[in-house]
Amino acid sequence: MTRGGRRAPAGRGRDGPLTRDLLRTPGGFGLGQVPARLAPDALTSMVCGFCSTGCLLDVHLRDGRAVNLTPSTRSPVNLGMACPKGWEALTPLDAPDRATTPLVRDGHGRLQPAGWPDALREMCDRIKAIQAAHGADSVAFLSTGQIPTEEMALLGAVAKLGMGMVHGDGNTRQCMATSVVAHKEAFGFDAPPYTYADFEASDVIVLVGSNLAIAHPIMWERVARNPHRPEIVVVDPRRTETAMAATQHLALRPKSDLVLLYGIAHLLIERGWVDHDFVAASTTGFEAVREAMRAYPPDVVAAESGLAVEQLEHVAATIGRGERVSFWWTMGVNQSHQGVRTAQAIINLALMTGNIGRPGTGANSITGQCNAMGSRLYSATTSLFAGRDFTDPDHRAEVARIVGVPVECIPDRPSWSYDRIVEGIHRGEIKGLWVIATNSAHSWINQTDLHELLDRLDLLVVQDMYRTTETAQRAHVVLPAAGWGEKDGTFISSERRVGLVKRVRAAPGQALADFAIFKLVADTWGCADLFRRWSDPEAVFGILRELSAGRPCDMTGIHGYDDIEAAGGIQWPYVAADRERPAAETAERRLFAGGRFPTPDGRARFVVDEPVAPVERVDAQYPLVLLTGRGSSSQWHTQTRTAKSPTLRLLHPSELHVEVHPDDAAPLGIESHDEVEVRSRRAHLRARAFVTPTVPPGSVFLPMHDPAVNRLTFASFDPHSRQPSYKHCAVAVRPVGR
Ligand SMILES: Nc1nc2c(c(=O)[nH]1)N[C@H]1C(S)=C(S)[C@@H](COP(=O)(O)OP(=O)(O)OC[C@H]3O[C@@H](n4cnc5c(=O)[nH]c(N)nc54)[C@H](O)[C@@H]3O)O[C@H]1N2
Ligand SMILES: Nc1nc2c(c(=O)[nH]1)N[C@H]1C(S)=C(S)[C@@H](COP(=O)(O)OP(=O)(O)OC[C@H]3O[C@@H](n4cnc5c(=O)[nH]c(N)nc54)[C@H](O)[C@@H]3O)O[C@H]1N2
Ligand code: SF4
Ligand SMILES: [Mo]
């Protein structure tokens, strides 16, 4: 036994039967051919691989190869629409910097091409050596919300059940952790309750910290289709594209959301806009809320949030009088120092007004990446498969039985969160790291010491489509991965819809589907026998189906990929009885109808807390708050994919711009297009100024797509979700060269 109480592995990596097959077949696994299920000159549909909307795209094949795509008209999700990223989704696959062969760093520090067996042996031997010396939990992995669910599940199984790892988290920590915790505490399960039809059915739509027009353009199109002339309330310090189209824009002081939401609750209670029947039948904890909300009268809230008392009265009346009010939130809430309580304050408003479980209502967290929802349920990082708990012996026994592994293989403690893994490297507890489909060296908060920490690792393995990412550049071993369009599996969208992705292109060179890579790692490690049932993505889907039985995310009614194909995507839950229902009834469904929730007593829970100030304060030296987020609908995160499309590059600025309010720019003599320096207490960067009243005075905005931005951000975290607070730190701006 080792420090972590987990078995330390023995023996060396070897070529198992799979790896030997691979050796005999240069190019590997026949990835060059279009799968038998697709006719060579046909149209086939699959879900987009960028955002969580899950638009269905029709892919046009010629001689078995995808040559074009158009948005599908047969899906209720996107109704024939796609945003620029969807239209351009095939282009990044052809980029010249694709990783086409495994790379291993040589004695001179250079990454050199290697064969798969050598790279896999290098990886496994070094992990085993580290674990033997420092314990099984001294090697961790970081994964993603962007690979198919089947691949995520296989990774979780191979790394934790097969290789003895304990700690593995995902980039979803940067994105969704807050909503996960808020949902579990309030609803009893991590379940976004809505369907996109709710955008069209509401008479009031409240968007908190969400720039839907840019980050989820097709959901925004669904809002535009709403025939009820809805009131659209946008809560965002910036006058975003979304806020410009709103009927009420609450440009609150950054990070004053919790006070604002409590102030709205105060007014709803005072003015008698509480649905007491719903509260009595379907919730617990309202009396504590009523008591706590006394402390948030409009004058106090106005002073804290920078809004006018009339604005507060107006928004409360809009919500109170609305018949079908839906509340939606994204990163302006999740990425804050008190994200979980803020999300729950939104849930409180929906519960106290009875706006949940009916068409056009809901407390609705919008997810980010194409498969964030698959990661939340099946990646075996934070929770055990299908929303189970690693610490619950019954849950472990159930999973061991279904998956067919000895129960001792399943860790009995949850993983460290991403920030704790990074801290583990700092403390010398984590010596090896395997990074899959995330670009930490650009996207993680406060990069100041991350690069140095990554360099300190005894082993960094990076598995990515591209060899040029900031993280791959620092790796000892790079494993070349196939991307979206080059492999099979399923994604789960924001509205819980399971959709198919397919291999419609050959991966370049020796790149392999992540699924194949995980199988080869297991083979080389010597634990492939444990995963014999996990033979291909559809077989794994079958295992996940079994794991979902009786859980709120039950999908036992989906018998296989053909069902998903025929329906164009199926929302969970979907049980055997759903198969008998008319398709129109199951096409678009929401949760919690009848006011029942998956808590032990069937009731939703109100949660309240004391608002606290963000950790890093502005002062005379650093007088401005830095907000960060998405820059345009044509840029995706760290730009490894979207920057490869000439069309998408035309749709966004070619240089980094910082948005500065005229009142802040004037005294500094800054005009649009001037080169400026943005400095935080940790680092500085150069950018062009864009002087604009869309940012509030006292704040500046930088898009997250430039690697320099996270050298400025300040590492503070929500205490309950450990999600980084990317949207608040103190900076100064000054002109350069004058
Ligand atoms: N084009 C494009 N689309 C994407 C992505 C992408 O990279 N590019 N990424 C996808 C992913 S993974 C995600 S998670 C989503 C993110 O989708 P969003 O969350 O909508 O995008 P962000 O721009 O990060 O943040 C939303 C807004 O939060 C605001 N904000 C900042 N601080 C506060 C605050 O204190 N209070 C409030 N109320 N608002 C605040 C910002 O001004 C910003 O307009 O987008 C998804 N879609
Ligand atoms: N300042 C600031 N920072 C932020 C945010 C912010 O708002 N502000 N937002 C945060 C959020 S919400 C998110 S989700 C993160 C995103 O941060 P990241 O996850 O780092 O962003 P991506 O650029 O999407 O990185 C995905 C990586 O996976 C690779 N990849 C794509 N498909 C595949 C595949 O199929 N297999 C493999 N093996 N690799 C693949 C891509 O080439 C890329 O290198 O950023 C966070 N960082
Ligand atoms: S809205 Fe999202 S899912 Fe739809 S095409 Fe654009 S990136 Fe793809
Ligand atoms: Mo995200």
Residue-level pLDDT at 733: 98
Could you give the CA distance from residue 392 to residue 399 in angstroms, rounded to a whole number?
A: 11
Secondary structure class of 510 (helix, strand, coil): coil
Write out the H or E segment, with its range, that includes residue 675: strand 675-680
CA-nearest of 633, 683, 710, 652 to 85 is 633
Residues 302 and 254 in one domain: yes
Residue nearest to atom 4 of ligand 3 (CA): 55
Residue-level pLDDT at 572: 98
The residue behind tokens 């039950």 is: 554
- Between strands 56-62 and 65-71, the pairing is antiparallel
* CATH number of domain containing 381: 3.40.50.740
* 558 has pLDDT over 60: yes
Residue nearest to atom 32 of ligand 1 (CA): 332
Q: Which ligand 1 atom is nearest residue 211's CA?
A: 20
Residue-level pLDDT at 6: 59
Q: 500: exposed, middle or buried (C-beta count within 10 Å: 0-12, 13-18, 19+)?
A: buried
Strand runs labelled E in 509-631 = 570-571, 604-605, 624-629
Residues 521 and 397 in one domain: yes
Residues 323 and 430 in one domain: no
Could you give the CA distance from residue 482 to residue 517 in angstroms, rounded to a whole number?
A: 10
CA angle 249, 212, 207 (to 5 degrees): 45
pLDDT digits (tens, 9 = 90+) for 716-736: 999 999 999 999 999 999 999
* CATH number of domain containing 697: 2.40.40.20
Whether residue 529 contacts residue 590, with contact meaning beta carbons closer than 8 Å, is answered with no
Q: What confidence tier does 674 reach under pLDDT thresholds 50, 70, 90?
A: very high
Q: 362: exposed, middle or buried (C-beta count within 10 Å: 0-12, 13-18, 19+)?
A: buried
Secondary structure class of 213 (helix, strand, coil): helix
CA of 210 to the centre of ligand 4 (A): 12
Residue where one domain finishes, among candidates 535, 550, 574: 535
Q: Which tokens is 635 given? A: 């840029």
- Paired with 500 in beta bridges are 490
Q: Which of 144, 370, 447, 713 to mutate to test the pocket of ligand 2 (most atoms within 8 A of CB)?
A: 144
Q: What confidence tier does 448 reach under pLDDT thresholds 50, 70, 90?
A: confident
Whether residue 609 contacts residue 626, with contact meaning beta carbons closer than 8 Å, is answered with no
pLDDT digits (tens, 9 = 90+) for 55-93: 999 999 998 889 999 999 999 999 999 999 999 999 999
Residue-level pLDDT at 21: 63
Residue-level pLDDT at 207: 98
Residue-level pLDDT at 11: 59
Residues 651 and 669 in one domain: yes
Ligand of minimum distance to the alpha carbon of 369: 1
Secondary structure class of 487 (helix, strand, coil): strand
pLDDT digits (tens, 9 = 90+) for 450-470: 999 999 999 999 999 999 999
For 183, 258, 282, the CA distances from 606, given in Å and listed in that order, are: 11, 14, 11
pLDDT digits (tens, 9 = 90+) for 498-513: 999 999 999 999 999 9
Residue-level pLDDT at 18: 64
Mean pLDDT score, 503-527:
96
Residue-level pLDDT at 4: 43
Residue nearest to atom 4 of ligand 2 (CA): 443
For 13, 126, 193, 258, the CA distances from 218, given in Å and listed in that order, are: 47, 45, 19, 28
The residue behind tokens 């990044």 is: 92
Residue nearest to atom 22 of ligand 1 (CA): 629
Strand runs labelled E in 303-416 = 325-329, 362-365
Cβ contacts of 538 within 8 Å, gap of 6 or more: 150, 488, 560, 561
Residue 729 within a domain? yes
Cβ contacts of 727 within 8 Å, gap of 6 or more: 209, 254, 255, 331, 332, 335, 336, 627, 628, 629
Q: Is the CB of 55 under 6 A from ligand 3?
A: yes
Which residues form the pocket of ligand 1, taking CB atoms under 6 Å from any ligand atom? 51, 175, 208-211, 214-216, 235-238, 240, 254-255, 257, 330-332, 336, 368-369, 627, 629-630, 633, 635-637, 727
Count of positions (residues) in the chain? 738
* 613 has pLDDT over 50: yes
pLDDT digits (tens, 9 = 90+) for 406-419: 999 999 999 999 99
CA of 481 to the centre of ligand 4 (A): 21
Secondary structure class of 333 (helix, strand, coil): helix
Residue 110 within a domain? yes
* 261 has pLDDT over 50: yes
Residue-level pLDDT at 3: 40
Mean pLDDT score, 678-707:
98
Could you give the CA distance from residue 208 to residue 231 in angstroms, rounded to a whole number?
A: 14
Q: Which tokens is 331 given? A: 């990163």
Residue-level pLDDT at 292: 98
Q: Is the CB of 709 under 6 A from ligand 2?
A: yes
Whether residue 196 contacts residue 362, with contact meaning beta carbons closer than 8 Å, is answered with no
CA-nearest of 262, 260, 264, 244 to 252 is 260
- Between strands 459-464 and 477-480, the pairing is parallel
Residue-level pLDDT at 88: 98
Q: 373: exposed, middle or buried (C-beta count within 10 Å: 0-12, 13-18, 19+)?
A: buried
Residues 16 and 101 in one domain: yes
Q: Is the CB of 436 under 6 A from ligand 2?
A: yes
CA of 197 to the centre of ligand 3 (A): 17
Strand runs labelled E in 236-295 = 248-250, 283-284
Check residue 172 and report its DSSP letter. Answer: G
Helices (H) and strands (E) in the chain, counts: 28, 26
Residue-level pLDDT at 307: 98
Mean pLDDT of the chain: 95
Residue nearest to atom 1 of ligand 3 (CA): 218
CA-nearest of 399, 378, 437 to 572 is 378
Residue 573 within a domain? no
Secondary structure class of 564 (helix, strand, coil): helix
Residue where one domain finishes, among candidates 535, 553, 580: 535
Residue-level pLDDT at 26: 40
Residue-level pLDDT at 296: 98
Residue-level pLDDT at 19: 63
Residue where one domain finishes, among candidates 365, 381, 400: 365
- Paired with 479 in beta bridges are 463
The share of the chain scoring above pLDDT 70, in percent, equals 95
Secondary structure class of 171 (helix, strand, coil): helix
Mean pLDDT score, 432-458:
96
Whether residue 213 contacts residue 220, with contact meaning beta carbons closer than 8 Å, is answered with yes
Strand runs labelled E in 477-623 = 477-480, 486-492, 497-503, 570-571, 604-605
Residue 565 within a domain? no
Secondary structure class of 44 (helix, strand, coil): strand
Residue-level pLDDT at 20: 61
Residues 125 and 203 in one domain: no
The share of the chain scoring above pLDDT 90, in percent, equals 93
Q: Which conformational region is residue 178 in: left (phi greater than 0), alpha (psi within -120 to 50 degrees), or beta? A: alpha
* 615 has pLDDT over 60: yes
Q: What confidence tier does 99 reach under pLDDT thresholds 50, 70, 90?
A: very high
Range of the domain at 648: 624-735
Residue-level pLDDT at 127: 98
Residues 463 and 319 in one domain: no
Could you give the CA distance from residue 153 to residue 402 in angstroms, rounded to a whole number?
A: 14
Residue-level pLDDT at 269: 98
Q: What confidence tier does 22 reach under pLDDT thresholds 50, 70, 90?
A: low
Phi, psi of 721 (to 5 degrees): -110, -15
Q: Which ligand 2 atom is nearest residue 713's CA?
A: 1
Longest Cα–Cα distance in the chain: 75
* Per-residue burial over 174-212, b = 16 or more CB atoms within 10 Å of its CB, e = otherwise: bbbbbbbbbbbbbbbbbbbbbbbbbbbbbbbbbbbbbbb
CA-nearest of 207, 107, 123 to 159 is 123
Residue nearest to atom 6 of ligand 3 (CA): 83
Residues 464 and 329 in one domain: no
* 25 has pLDDT over 70: no
pLDDT digits (tens, 9 = 90+) for 312-357: 999 999 999 999 999 999 999 999 999 999 999 999 999 999 999 9
Check residue 722 and report its DSSP letter. Answer: -
Whole-structure pTM value: 0.96
Could you give the CA distance from residue 159 to residue 487 in angstroms, rounded to a whole number?
A: 21
Q: Which tokens is 345 given? A: 């304050």
Residues with CB in 5 Å of ion ligand 4: 175, 368
Mean pLDDT score, 106-114:
96
Residue 667 within a domain? yes
Strand runs labelled E in 288-380 = 325-329, 362-365
Residues 197 and 343 in one domain: yes
Residue-level pLDDT at 178: 98
Residues 397 and 429 in one domain: yes
Residue 649 within a domain? yes
CA-nearest of 607, 610, 612 to 295 is 610
The total number of structural domains that make up the chain: 3
* 421 has pLDDT over 90: yes
Cβ contacts of 552 within 8 Å, gap of 6 or more: 188, 189, 191, 387, 573, 591, 598
Q: Is the CB of 103 under 6 A from ligand 3?
A: no
Residues 327 and 251 in one domain: yes
* 30 has pLDDT over 70: no
Q: What confidence tier does 1 reach under pLDDT thresholds 50, 70, 90?
A: very low
Residues 489 and 466 in one domain: yes
Secondary structure class of 659 (helix, strand, coil): strand
Residue nearest to atom 5 of ligand 3 (CA): 86
**71, 77, 81, 86 alpha-carbon torsion, rounded to 10°:** -60
Could you give the CA distance from residue 407 to residue 412 in angstroms, rounded to a whole number?
A: 10
* CATH number of domain containing 349: 3.40.228.10
Residue 35 within a domain? no
Q: What confidence tier does 45 reach under pLDDT thresholds 50, 70, 90?
A: very high
Residue 297 within a domain? yes
